[in-house]
């Protein structure tokens, strides 16, 4: 009986090892093909466009770190811009590589949580920085919808107005929601 069990265990272990090897082989092959496709795509992008995207990303992170610093200062918490800038870059990494996009926010709260003023100010500063970003994106989207509407008005001949009205109502509803959240909070 023990020989049959040991043989069954040997066969099961062998099959499991083969399955793991096959899975590893498929994953390496898949990743290699995907990485080579990414490399080909990146090689087609002009260097000026890549440099411009890098500059815009750096500016975006710097502006967001500055907003975060201002939100902390409103609550009497003082951190240097360079420290918050460094924290924000790490938070961007966490936002991109963790399953949800709140991992970076948790990191930023954690890094400023031990401030001498109050611990809730760390949470409030991050939430308010996020809200100002959302409001800014809504405003940019609303402004761009007018540009698109006026650029295509001649092509639409009146059919674009319901589309533009729905964007305006969505923006107004979003701003009312944010206002109510800030006032009630």
Three-state SS for 16-63 is HHHHHHHHHHHHHHHHHHHHHHHHHHHHHCCHHHHHHHHHHHHHHHHH
Residues 106 and 18 in one domain: no
Residues 28 and 8 in one domain: yes
pTM beyond cutoff 0.85: no
pLDDT tens-digit series, residues 135-185: 888 888 877 777 776 676 656 555 555 556 667 777 777 778 777 766 665
Residues 27 and 53 in one domain: no
CA distance 36 to 44: 13
Phi, psi of 102 (to 5 degrees): -100, 0
Residues 56 and 33 in one domain: no
CA proximity to 54, closest of 12, 110, 142, 46: 46
Report how many domains make up the chain.
2
Number of C-beta neighbours around residue 72 at 10 A: 23
Position 13 scores a pLDDT of 63
Do 121 and 114 meet the contact criterion of CB atoms below 8 Å apart? no
Position 75 scores a pLDDT of 84
Position 116 scores a pLDDT of 74
Position 131 scores a pLDDT of 85
Residues 18 and 103 in one domain: no
Residues 69 and 152 in one domain: yes
DSSP, collapsed to helix, strand or coil, labels residue 157 as: coil
- For residue 85, what are the contacts with CB-CB under 8 A and spacing of at least 6? 61, 62, 65
Residues 82 and 160 in one domain: yes
Region 48-59: mean pLDDT is 89
Position 153 scores a pLDDT of 63
Position 82 scores a pLDDT of 92
Residues 38 and 92 in one domain: no
Residues 97 and 133 in one domain: yes
Structural domain span for residue 3: 1-44
How far out from the chain centre does Cα 96 lie? 6
Residues 55 and 16 in one domain: no
- For residue 126, what are the contacts with CB-CB under 8 A and spacing of at least 6? 68, 71, 105, 108, 109
Taking 70 as the threshold, does the pLDDT of residue 41 lie above it? yes
């Amino acid at each position: 009986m023990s020989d049959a069990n040991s043989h069954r265990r040997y066969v099961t272990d062998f099959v499991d090892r083969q399955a793991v090897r096959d899975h590893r082989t498929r994953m390496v092959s898949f990743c290699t093909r995907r990485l080579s496709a990414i490399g080909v795509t990146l090689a087609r992008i002009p260097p000026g466009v890549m440099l411009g995207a890098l500059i815009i990303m750096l500016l975006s992170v710097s502006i967001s770190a500055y907003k975060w610093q201002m939100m902390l200062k409103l609550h009497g918490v003082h951190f240097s811009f360079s420290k918050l800038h460094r924290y924000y870059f790490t938070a961007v990494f966490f936002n991109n590589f963790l399953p949800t996009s709140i991992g970076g926010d948790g990191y930023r709260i954690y890094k400023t949580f031990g401030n001498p003023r109050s611990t809730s100010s760390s949470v409030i500063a991050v939430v308010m920085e996020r809200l100002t970003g959302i409001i800014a994106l809504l405003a940019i989207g609303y402004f761009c919808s007018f540009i698109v509407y006026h650029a295509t008005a001649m092509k639409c001949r009146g059919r674009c107005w319901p589309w533009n009205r729905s964007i305006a109502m969505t923006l107004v509803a979003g701003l009312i929601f944010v206002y109510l959240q800030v006032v009630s909070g």
